[in-house]
Structure 1
Amino acid sequence: MTDLQCAARVFVARHGEALYESELLSDAGGWLSPLGRQQAKDLAATLAPERISRVWASDMARAVQTAEIVAGILGVDVVVRKGLREFGVGDAAGTTGVPDPFAETFASWLAGDLAARIPGGETGDEVVERYTGVLDEVSDEHRGESVLVISHGGVMCLALPALATNLPPTHGHEKPMPHCGVVAMEADADGWACRSWADTPLT
C-alpha cells in the first residue's frame, strides 16, 4: 500500500464541559470546568490504545485546554488551527439567545442550503470550507497514523456530515455531540468516511 493509499484515522472530539464569563452569546473561548477536565482525562484514557500521534485543536481556550490535558497524558504535542473553531455568533453577540437567533439559518443548512448566512457571521459553505481545509491538512500529514482533533459541537455537527460520504446532512442535528464525544473519521484517496459517531459504529 502506498502512502497516498494508506488511510489516516482522525478522531474528532468535542471539548470538555466549559464555563463562561457571561451567559450572553459570545465568541469568547470559555474555560474547562472541573468536570470538563475530568472528561478530558477520560478521553485520553479511551484513546490511549489508538496510539495517537498528535493532537490538533481549535484556538478557542476550552478546546486548547482539553487538547493540552489529553496530549499531556498521551505524551504528544498539540497543533492549534483557527479553522477548527466554532461558528461565530455574528450579530447575536451580547444577546441572550432567546429566541434562537440561529434557527432560520440552521434550518436552511439542514435543508441543504449552505449558502445561508448567520447574520453578521459565516455561511454554511464558509464554515465547511475552513473546517475541511484543516482536516485535509491533518490527513495529509498523518497518512497511516491516528490523530485527535479537538473542536466544537456545532461545527462538528455541520461540517462532518457534509464531509463524510456515508452520512446524511441531518445526522449531526439528529445526534448532537456530547462533551468529549468522539467521531471517528477515515481519509484515503477516495475521500472521507465516518466510522463511528459518539461511540456508535457506522457502516
Structure 2
Amino acid sequence: MPTLVLARHGQTPANVGKILDTVLPGPGLTDLGRLQAEALGKELSALSVSALYGSRARRAQETAGIVGTVLGLPVGVVDGVHEVQVGDLEGHSDDESVAVFRDVYDAWRAGDLSARMPGGESAQDVLDRYLPAVEALRRRHPDGTTVLVSHGAVLRLVGHALAGGDDLLPDGDDHLDNCGRLEFEGLPDGGWRLVAWRREAPGGLASSRDATGG
C-alpha cells in the first residue's frame, strides 16, 4: 500500500506580510523558508521517500528542490495542486479581506462546498482539480512513499476530504505552518487513512500564522 505525504511549502515574503497571494507562479522562499525546507528534507529522510513532486508554484518547486537535494531525488511537477484561488482578494492583506477568506474557509469546514471566494474558487472547484491529481499519483506509485509539496489552505481542505471520518484534531485546530505536513496511508478500498497532521514547521523553525496557513 502507498504512503502519501502532503507538505506545505516554506515561508515566503507574502507569508511574512500576511498577504493573500495565490496566483501562479508566485514568490519564492525567504531565508527562513529555505531552512524550513532543508529541515523538512531531513525529517522525511526517515520515511524512505521514493517519489517527490511539487505544484507549479515557484515556492513549492523551490521547497521540493531543497528537499530533493537532501533526499537525493528529482522533483516532478503536478498540475491542479496549486493554492486555492482567492479571486478578488488576491494581493490583499487588510483585516477585512483576511476575515472574508476565513469566513469562506469556515463555511467549507462546516460542509458548504459551494461557498466561494469572491471572484475565486469554491471548495468543490478545488477538490475537483486536486483529488484526481492525488489519485493519478497513487496509480503512478502504488507502493512506497510519495511526497507532494503544496499549499496551506488547499492542504487543509484536501486533508479533511481525504481523511473522511478520521479525527486526529480533537481541538479543531487544522493550522498548518510552513513545511508542516499531512501523512496518509493507502487503504485496500482505494481510500486513505490519516496517520498524522503535523501542524508545526520541522526543526522548530516555526513562523507566525499567515492568512492561508491557519
TM-score surpassing 0.5? Answer: yes
Give the ranges of 4+ consecutive aligned residues of structure 1 lying more than 4 Å apart after TM superposition: 21-24, 170-173
Q: 1:108 to 1:20 in 2, by over 3 A?
A: closer
Q: Which stretch shifts more, 49-58 or 101-110?
A: 101-110
Superposition map of 1:52-131 within 5 A: 52-99=49-96, 100-131=99-130
Aligned residue number for residue 19 of structure 1: 13
- The 2-side partners of 1:156 and 1:11 are apart by 11
Aligned residue number for residue 197 of structure 2: 197
Residue 150 (structure 1) shift: 0.4
Aligned residue number for residue 156 of structure 1: 155
Q: 2:27 aligns with which of 1, 18, 30?
A: 30
Q: How many residues align?
A: 194
- The 2-side partners of 1:43 and 1:195 are apart by 17
Is 2:175 the counterpart of 1:180?
Answer: no
Query: Which has the larger strand fraction?
Result: 1
8 Å contact kept, 1:158–1:172: no
Is 2:146 the counterpart of 1:147?
Answer: yes
Structure 2: which 5+ runs fail to align?
Answer: 201-214
8 Å contact kept, 2:107–2:115: yes
For residue 10 of structure 1, give the secondary structure of its aligned residue in structure 2.
strand
For residue 80 of structure 2, give the secondary structure of its aligned residue in structure 1.
helix
8 Å contact kept, 2:38–2:67: yes
For residue 102 of structure 1, give the secondary structure of its aligned residue in structure 2.
helix
> Per-residue displacement from partner, 1:100-139 (whole Å, max 9, x unpaired)?
2223322321210101111111110111121111111111
8 Å contact kept, 2:176–2:199: no
Aligned residue number for residue 131 of structure 2: 132
Question: What is the root-mean-square deviation in Å for CA atoms of aligned residues?
Answer: 2.5
TM-score, length-scaled by structure 2: 0.82
TM-score, length-scaled by structure 1: 0.86
Residue 164 (structure 1) shift: 1.4
Aligned residue number for residue 41 of structure 2: 44
Task: Provide the identity percentage.
Answer: 33
